[in-house]
Amino acid sequence: MSKSLRSQRALERRQQLINAAIEVIADVGLEATTTRKVAEQSGLPLSSVHHTFTDKDELICAVIDFVGDQVEALRRDAQHPQARKHSTPENAVREALFVFWSLVEDDPSFQLMQFELMIYCLRHPDSHWMAQRQYDRNCALVANALRTAVEGTVAAGGIDIEQTARLILAALDGIVLHFLVYRDRERAKIALESLASACSPYLTGGPGSYRGPRSLPATLRF
């Protein structure tokens, strides 16, 4: 067997195990997920799991990376191909928020799994770095979406993208959690509208906004 073919099969086996891990997590929860259950779900021997991943933490890290890739791909596919001309920053952000929300409503269990991954990492001191890694990646996804949303608007050059993205992500986490508990679509949409309006001063420098460079006040920074 050629080296390239062996590498290809190793990549396929790795992805097969990641897919199986996601299915097991969705079925029994992250705490109850074991490498043995992942092997059984994948149809591969247990030795394949340990040959591919050092331990459960490394497998979870791979799942987190894959989930992040999936979220980015879904956001990119759903993103409007071109920003609307003459759109205000608030309207552009509102449109981006509702693009994201369509993904939440399409697959709530996917959002629940992301929360569970985060909580698992926070409960295990040795895995805390993975929680930070996951959150930083989520912040980067929001920041990229925000850059796309305000591209071409009058305020694009003066927005503190990173700080605004963290504020939006913190609010979105709360809205998603509320939706997972109540499954109330209308209340969620009202919350998204409120979030877009609340962000407007930081995106435009209008009345009531923070004076000086367009960044969030220290009390709102994360």
pLDDT of residue 77: 63
Domain boundaries, the chain: 1-53, 56-220
Domain 1-53 indexed as CATH 1.10.4190.10: no
Of the candidates 115, 118, 120, 119, the one whose C-alpha atom is nearest the C-alpha of residue 104 is 115
User: In DSSP terms, which residues pair with 214 in a beta bridge?
Assistant: 159
Identify whether the C-beta of residue 176 lies closer than 8 Å to the C-beta of residue 111: yes
pLDDT of residue 12: 95
Identify whether the C-beta of residue 175 lies closer than 8 Å to the C-beta of residue 195: yes
Q: What is the largest CA-CA distance in the chain?
A: 68
The domain made up of 56-220 has a fold known as Tetracycline Repressor; domain 2 (1.10.357)
Question: 56-220: same fold as 1-53?
Answer: no
Identify whether the C-beta of residue 89 lies closer than 8 Å to the C-beta of residue 153: yes
pLDDT per position as a tens digit, 198-221: 887 776 654 444 333 444 444 444
**Helices within 29-88 (DSSP H only):** 35-42, 46-52, 56-78
Q: In the chain, which residues have pLDDT < 70? A: 1, 74-87, 152-158, 203-222
pLDDT per position as a tens digit, 85-98: 446 777 878 888 88
Q: What is the DSSP letter of 29?
A: -
Distances (CA, A) of 96 to 8, 14, 27, 141, 205: 37, 33, 31, 12, 20
